[in-house]
Structure 1
Amino acid sequence: MRGVVSSKLEPFLDQVNEVMANARAQGIGYTPELTREGLNNLAGLMAKGPEIASVTDVLMPDYEAAINVRIYNPAPDKKLPVLLHFHGGGHMCGSVELYDPISRELAQQCQAIVLCIEYRLAPEFPYPMGLNDCQYLLENYRQLLVEHNHNDVLYIAGDSAGGAICTNLVMNNNQRGDIKIDKQILIYPSVDYTMSFDSYQENGSGFLLETAKVEWYFEQYFHSEQDIDQAAQSASALFGTFNDRMPETLVITAGCDPLRDEGNAYAEKLAQHGVKVKHHQFNDMIHAYMLINDLVQDEYQQTFKLIKDFTA
């Protein structure tokens, strides 16, 4: 069933849909440059995050590339959990800077040391290069925190493609057992690269993120693979191995999102395998509502309330 969007978002969507229609009429297609510019333009609709006691930028140690990680410590005098934050953007867009307000809120609300990584983006760095960056951070984040007072509790969090990264890390590390992820926080996550659910048709136009755009994102992400369909299937966390060793999970979905159904299915599958899971859907929200929080302040704060309660 197609979602019914909040009246708070209607003027914004009218403007976006007009711009998109004009671009199509002029034959302007998708490009990485225009897509990145479009996402970065949403920064004008994002409220600044809270002041954090310590914010520092460091490079990942002993790594094949110069990858920046921003560390947010809300209480340097306390021994805090660690939260690895993976930003969204279709594996092609987004940045530590764009997501700075969300990283700050996560640090403040969860009372955790947040690390947000500038992982490499497609199409210049296709799958699995960005994911490998995040895996390396998962394995080595303690080396970045030698001057920070932290405990052994570990959370991971991400929205959209960042949610995909979280679930990929869980899937890839599920059998190893040497890295304990205590909780994962997923906001409208991408967990099915095959795009097999009905919400891609029901919510696939008019709600900012459109099905054709998602398909293009995935083509860029997997473009170096000889068999894109096979790569998409094997990389989809929804089709991976589930068991009761997976971390307790919070899943937040949006009712007017093409990715709605796969997020719901992931939550249901976790529960079926004995994993503790909490799921909340904002029925009248769209994909990426966290990046336009000036328009949906109540839902933005409700989202962080859910996260705060989950990590308490």
Structure 2
Amino acid sequence: MKNPSPALLPFLEQIRMTAETFRKNGSQPTFANAREGLSTLTRTFVTKPCPVAAVMDALIPGPKWEVPVRIYHPDPEQTLPLLLFIHGGGHMAGSIHVYDGIARRLARTSGHITISVEYRRAPECPYPVGFTDVIHAARGLFPLLEKLKIAHTGRLSAAGDSGGGALCASLSHRASHEPEIRLHRQVLIYPSLDYTLSFPSVSENGKGFFLEKEKILWYFANYFQQGENRKEASPLFMNAEAPFPETLVVTAGFCPLRDEGAAYAKQLREQGMIVRHHDFSDMIHAFLNLEDLVPDACQSFYAMTANFLNR
């Protein structure tokens, strides 16, 4: 069996030791330490500056809640396409602040005006609140840009990692039935697509590779609080209908979500959609948040994504 990249092995050992200490002192997982953990991790390993010409915060109106977004414009003198970015974090962690470095890299490498969405998170705001915020952001994006006098080509794509990948894929399926939302392409980065966790990689990679099965189950228990049908909520079990965006699915060989990402790509292809799938076979979940450890893999991802969005 192939091993993870040697660059990741000291990190994985440190995570194992930290988790053991956490258990021994009687600590329990909370949404607070989940958020702190992802923030600290990303701040520690995504450190190289990535200047973007213009960055601004704004609000997109919704029926009951204004959705905060951060807009990254790589070249305000140019009329560029748009990328809606939906951050990960198991529907509980992550934020536009935590993912600032990643959003900057997406904007700069892809040449897209990138709009990062601050959707509400569980457990305070369980399913489907976060998805509702993403829908409102997609619906209200064009009026916001018009109000801000930001010129663009009108072409909108979307991207999301992990839990944000679930929201991104769900948005693509919803957009097939909403004429006001038209997605050109979508990029799903080690996405969570099967809330039933029915594939072998969940157990195969579910311990010792950073994201563990036990933690995923905990995330989902906090996200689905009213006994919702998790299969119906899973993008993997949704039918893809035209118009459906061209899709790039990125998986990691030692990620528990690997198999569902591959299965989703296969399913889209069988349903007649245009899809590409690339597996980073020696990577783990959330490797973009570990850029300083695996810079070559991250650079390869950003170049691949830019090529996919712009070809």
Counterparts in 2 of 1:62-211, with a 5 A limit?
63-146=63-146, 147-211=149-213
**Maintained 8 Å contact 1:85/1:103:** yes
Report the 3-state secondary structure (helix = DSSP H, G, I; strand = E; otherwise coil) of the residue aligned with 2:168. Answer: helix
**Maintained 8 Å contact 1:77/1:149:** no
Amino acid at match of 2:285: H
1:147-178 Cα shifts (integer Å, max 9, x gaps) = 11101111000100110011111122223344
Of 267, 281, 292, which residue of structure 2 is paired with 1:283? Answer: 281
- In structure 2, relative to structure 1, the CA distance for the partners of 1:67 and 1:265 (3 Å cut) is same
1:162-215 Cα shifts (integer Å, max 9, x gaps) = 100111111222233442100001100000001010001100000010000000
Structure 2 CA distance for aligned equivalents of residues 37 and 296 of structure 1:
22
Once the two structures are TM-superposed, the CA of residue 24 in structure 1 deviates from its matched residue by 1.9
Q: TM (normalized to structure 1)?
A: 0.95
1:4-35 Cα shifts (integer Å, max 9, x gaps) = 21110000100000111122233322111111
**Maintained 8 Å contact 1:49/1:105:** no
1:32-81 Cα shifts (integer Å, max 9, x gaps) = 11111111111111134521111001112355224321001111111111
1:106-143 Cα shifts (integer Å, max 9, x gaps) = 11111111110111010000011111001001111012
Structure 2 CA distance for aligned equivalents of residues 129 and 114 of structure 1:
22
Equivalent pairs, count = 307
Structure 2 CA distance for aligned equivalents of residues 305 and 252 of structure 1:
13
Say which is worse superposed, 175-184 or 187-196, in terms of deviation.
175-184
Amino acid at match of 1:138: A
**Maintained 8 Å contact 1:4/1:255:** no
- In structure 2, relative to structure 1, the CA distance for the partners of 1:62 and 1:234 (3 Å cut) is closer
**Would you say 1:37 and 2:36 are equivalent positions?**
yes
Aligned to 2:224: 222
Structure 2 CA distance for aligned equivalents of residues 165 and 94 of structure 1:
14
Aligned to 1:28: 27
Aligned to 1:300: 298
**Maintained 8 Å contact 2:160/2:188:** yes
**Maintained 8 Å contact 2:232/2:238:** yes
Report the 3-state secondary structure (helix = DSSP H, G, I; strand = E; otherwise coil) of the residue aligned with 2:253. Answer: strand
Counterparts in 2 of 1:2-21, with a 5 A limit?
4-21=3-20
Counterparts in 2 of 1:232-311, with a 5 A limit?
232-311=230-309
**Maintained 8 Å contact 1:201/1:211:** yes
Amino acid at match of 1:308: A
Task: For structure 2, list consecutive stretches of 5 or more residues without a partner in the other structure.
Answer: none
Structure 2 CA distance for aligned equivalents of residues 81 and 305 of structure 1:
17
Counterparts in 2 of 1:47-66, with a 5 A limit?
47-61=47-61, 63-66=63-66
Amino acid at match of 1:33: A
**Maintained 8 Å contact 2:175/2:183:** no
Report the 3-state secondary structure (helix = DSSP H, G, I; strand = E; otherwise coil) of the residue aligned with 1:245. Answer: coil
- In structure 2, relative to structure 1, the CA distance for the partners of 1:198 and 1:309 (3 Å cut) is same
- In structure 2, relative to structure 1, the CA distance for the partners of 1:268 and 1:62 (3 Å cut) is closer
Structure 2 CA distance for aligned equivalents of residues 3 and 233 of structure 1:
32
**CA RMSD of superposed structures (Å):** 1.3
Amino acid at match of 1:41: T
Once the two structures are TM-superposed, the CA of residue 244 in structure 1 deviates from its matched residue by 4.5
Structure 2 CA distance for aligned equivalents of residues 11 and 310 of structure 1:
33
**Maintained 8 Å contact 1:61/1:143:** no
Q: Which runs of 4+ in 1 moved over 6 A?
A: none
Amino acid at match of 1:161: G
